[in-house]
Chain A
């Protein structure tokens, strides 16, 4: 069993490493796939495992982009002057400055977003159910509007990042592996986290928060930490996205509530909420569906996407994993265990 698992993960890792070399034309799409997998997995931390459906996780993505950009630029130049010139001045970055800016910017984005999750969560976790969803959505929309009026970070025009001096294909590979590393770390982290008492505690909050309180769980603390961990990873991939896009603006690319903000939820619903693999499988299904419809049914892609959401919500509410769990419960360890002879005496 362990042998099987080890080889399974080894093969998986080999595929992850080989993919951009086997399909060099699709490196950018594969990087985007990683982005979807990561935002879906982090969305599931609160939405699937803890029962708090956030529609505002895109806030951490957008904020991550800006924080990474400000750090990368601010390490070398004055940010206000840089954005004020809006491409007019001459600002060079050496490759070394780019790499340092990339690493510090991405990590800084993660840390900043985790901290903001603590602050926002303190206010928003007073809301339950649909009110939490609307509250978080409002936060993300408001943040986008505020940032688009903030000239220091480029206002509505957005911001342009340094570009790596080397080969363009090399940059694409670099971005792919940056996403992949974060994704693999996130997977290992969640696999561990869901096996701890902390993981059980957030499941308890999902199933019956009032009961969890009555049993003495420190529910607010668990909720804040979960959202902060989720925000850390979303902030990091936001940062990486900023370097991938090079130039981005606040409403359509950073705080894109109706695109990525909704896509991450759809990915999780497709794959199955509250499971480790559900969001990953869902993100792959979604990305394939999206690429196919955008390429072959252009003009109808939004209709197709809407139909997909409706079909999922109406017929497959538990997603692929939930459907499998109903069909094959024994795969998930759901079984009646016959009492051993020894315990018969206890009757």
Chain B
């Protein structure tokens, strides 16, 4: 069953066609990958889905509901969350505070906002920080963490929010290669244990081929190929797009 349905979406910036007539589906409960050379329109598609900009034409549905005209916070409150390519965390707060603020506010009433965080909230925050390996650094100002650690923190914050679908924009970029295996395993566990549907932009082929059930490849703003990891790896047009065939 599909949870995100993108059909014939186009988006231009002035004369540049960043996405033209793109149709993809993200299966509920699975891991879907999105690859493509730099500038192929991957992040533009992500931004369209989460509501950063209006699309020119087409339709985007989340759980059957049309979301292409909705604003970012509204879509986030439906349970469709994204992380950023340029990591974004709350730099002045420590890791635990970053986690606690990421509690799903959509599930709270206005008056619940005026309560302090419960013991369970703290435990959940610490459990997830441990899950991504930041437990020891939980009381440090998050802005003082390394880029890779901030990325892990952002991932943990997203999990804290209990999303239905998580869109990850290059989760392994800037992460120490020796930590990447650990991250792949954590992403898989987030998918299998927490039941979060993942939709991942990734440049690291080893990572995405390892995880995704279904992969879409974009080039020059158009959908080039779709299929399983094996199919994509053997697709001549994908190879050409990456190596620059004429």
Chain A interface (Cβ < 8 Å from any Cβ of B) = 193, 195-198, 200-201, 203-204, 206-208, 210-219, 221, 274, 333-339, 343, 346-347
Contact = CB atoms under 8 A, between A and B. Distances in A.
B115 A200 contact: no
B103 to A, nearest CB: 7
A215 B157 contact: yes
Contacts of A203: 90, 92-93, 97, 101
12 contacts: A197-B112, A200-B97, A204-B93, A207-B93, A214-B81, A214-B88, A216-B73, A221-B110, A337-B136, A338-B136, A343-B135, A347-B133
Contacts of A213: 72-73, 76
Interface of B: 50, 72-73, 76-77, 81-82, 84, 88-94, 97, 100-106, 108, 110, 112-117, 130-131, 133, 135-141, 157, 161
A291 to B, nearest CB: 33
Contacts of B90: 203-204, 207-208, 211-212
A336 B113 contact: no
A336 B140 contact: yes
Given A207-B90, A217-B105, A333-B139, A196 B130 contact: no
A214 B97 contact: no
Nearest to B107: A216
A217 B135 contact: no
A218 B77 CA distance: 9
Contact of B72 (A200, A214, A346): A214
A337 B76 contact: no
B2 to A, nearest CB: 23
Nearest to B157: A215
A204 B97 CA distance: 9
A52 B71 CA distance: 22
Given A196-B115, A336-B137, A339-B135, A274 B92 contact: yes
Contact of B115 (A197, A208, A218): A197
Q: With a 10 A CB-CB cut-off, give which of B82, B89, B116, B117 has the most chain A CB atoms.
A: B116
Given A195-B116, A197-B113, A206 B88 contact: no
Contacts of B108: 197
A201 B115 CA distance: 12
A207 B139 contact: no
Contacts of A215: 76, 81, 101-102, 105, 157, 161
Nearest to A193: B114
Contacts of A339: 135-136
Contact of B104 (A216, A218, A346): A216
Contact of A218 (B50, B73, B135, B136): B73
A200 B135 contact: no
A333 B139 CA distance: 7
A217 B139 CA distance: 23
Given A216-B73, A216-B76, A207 B91 contact: yes
B100 A216 contact: no
Contacts of A198: 113-114
Given A201-B113, A203-B101, A214-B50, A219 B73 contact: yes
Contacts of B113: 196-198, 201
Nearest to B158: A215
A198 B92 CA distance: 16
B200 to A, nearest CB: 17
Nearest to B103: A197
A337 B114 contact: no
A208 B89 CA distance: 7
Given A200-B97, A214-B84, 17 more contacts: A193-B114, A197-B108, A197-B113, A200-B93, A203-B92, A203-B93, A204-B101, A211-B89, A214-B82, A216-B104, A217-B73, A219-B73, A333-B139, A334-B141, A337-B135, A337-B138, A343-B130
A212 B89 CA distance: 9
Contacts of B94: 333-334
A191 to B, nearest CB: 12
Q: With a 10 A CB-CB cut-off, give which of A204, A336, A346 has the most chain B CB atoms.
A: A204
Q: With a 10 A CB-CB cut-off, give which of B89, B105, B117 has the most chain A CB atoms.
A: B105
Nearest to A329: B141
Contacts of A206: 92
A232 B139 CA distance: 34
Contacts of A196: 113-116
Contacts of A197: 100-101, 103, 105, 108, 112-117
B77 A216 contact: yes
Contacts of A336: 136-137, 139-140
A233 B157 CA distance: 34
A103 B141 CA distance: 44
A216 B106 contact: yes
A195 B101 CA distance: 12
A200 B76 contact: no
A274 B114 CA distance: 19
A54 B140 CA distance: 30
